[in-house]
């Protein structure tokens, strides 16, 4: 499973749990605050994944199409982008679909 797909599925699961808990009238004020915060964190992660994935696709496109220019920066940039996605996956290390290779930094 691709890390972007993995993260998207986990974020969707987190969001569903937060929405379910927000609908529970027995949740305290602090619990509701936490669940609202979790929903915002889900959206923030989605935005970050879009930014990282766009940068990764742009770097790969440059690597393939731009042979005349110095492309020495691209491998290092791709590594940083991969590390960013790996960091986002860390909270889900105990999920059955988690790839242990994502633990490397």
pLDDT in tens, 31-53: 888 889 999 999 999 999 999 99
Q: Distance (Å, rounded) from C-alpha 38 to C-alpha 20?
A: 12
**Residue 85 pLDDT grade (very low, low, confident, very high; cuts 50, 70, 90):** very high
Q: What value does the mean pLDDT of the chain take?
A: 88
- When divided into structural domains, the chain yields a total of 1
φ and ψ of 67, to 5 deg: -80, -20
Residue 73: predicted pLDDT: 78
Domain extent for 50: 3-103
Is 62:74 a contact under the CB 8 Å cutoff? yes
**Residue 68 pLDDT grade (very low, low, confident, very high; cuts 50, 70, 90):** very low
Structure pTM? 0.78
Span 84-91, average pLDDT: 94
Residue 91: predicted pLDDT: 94
């Amino acid at each position: 499973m691709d890390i972007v797909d993995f993260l998207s599925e986990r974020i969707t699961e987190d969001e569903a749990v937060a929405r379910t808990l927000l609908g529970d009238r027995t949740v305290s004020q602090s619990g509701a605050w936490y669940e609202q915060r979790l929903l915002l964190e889900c959206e923030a992660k989605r935005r970050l994944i879009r930014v990282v994935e766009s940068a990764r696709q742009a770097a790969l496109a440059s690597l393939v199409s731009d042979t005349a220019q110095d492309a020495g920066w691209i491998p290092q940039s791709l590594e940083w982008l991969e590390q960013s996605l790996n960091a986002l996956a860390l909270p889900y290390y105990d999920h059955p679909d988690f790839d242990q290779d994502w633990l490397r930094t």
